[in-house]
Amino acid sequence: MTKSVSWVGWGKRISSLAGLALLLYVAYFTYSLATAKDRMTEVCNQIKPGMTIVQLIKLAEEHGLGHRNLLPGTKLVYLAEARSFGRHACRVELDAGIVNSATYNYAD
């Protein structure tokens, strides 16, 4: 006598796991957006006038901010957080590779 495999039981388990994974993703996404302003405000406050472009790039890398457009001669750059899909960023004004100011920016 052979054992029959119940595919219905496996289907329910897979559906439950997929539902749980989707729920966790939505919770993470919602949490990331809800806390993005606080995270980026803190990062922007760490960017001080007088910082060099090298120091700014290092800080951006430490916090996972996009900094590909940060080249010598850049006057204005937005260092955005990928986790918030670039909506929360630091607006950084530079002069001759030195930071003049940095402010929090929300792109809506």
Listed in sequence order, the residues at least 6 apart from 67 whose beta carbon sits closer than 8 Å to its beta carbon are 56, 57, 60, 61, 77, 79
- pLDDT, mean over the chain: 87
Q: Which residues contact 34 (CB under 8 A, 6 or more apart)?
A: none
Whole-number Å distance between alpha carbons of 24 and 75? 40
pLDDT surpasses 90 at 22: yes
Q: What's the confidence (pLDDT) of residue 12?
A: 83
What is the Rg, in whole angstroms, of the alpha carbon atoms belonging to the chain? 22
Percent of the chain with pLDDT over 90: 55
What pLDDT is attached to residue 2?
57
Nearest to 91 by CA among 80, 81, 78: 78
Asked if pLDDT for residue 5 goes beyond 80, the answer is: no
pLDDT digits (tens, 9 = 90+) for 29-67: 888 888 889 999 999 999 999 999 999 999 999 998 987
Please state, in angstroms and rounded to a whole number, the distance separating the CA atoms of residues 56 and 31.
27
What does the pLDDT read at residue 8?
64
Task: Give the burial class of 31: count Cβ atoms within 10 A of its Cβ; 0-12 exposed, 13-18 middle, 19 or more buried.
Answer: exposed
Q: What pTM was estimated for this model as a whole?
A: 0.74
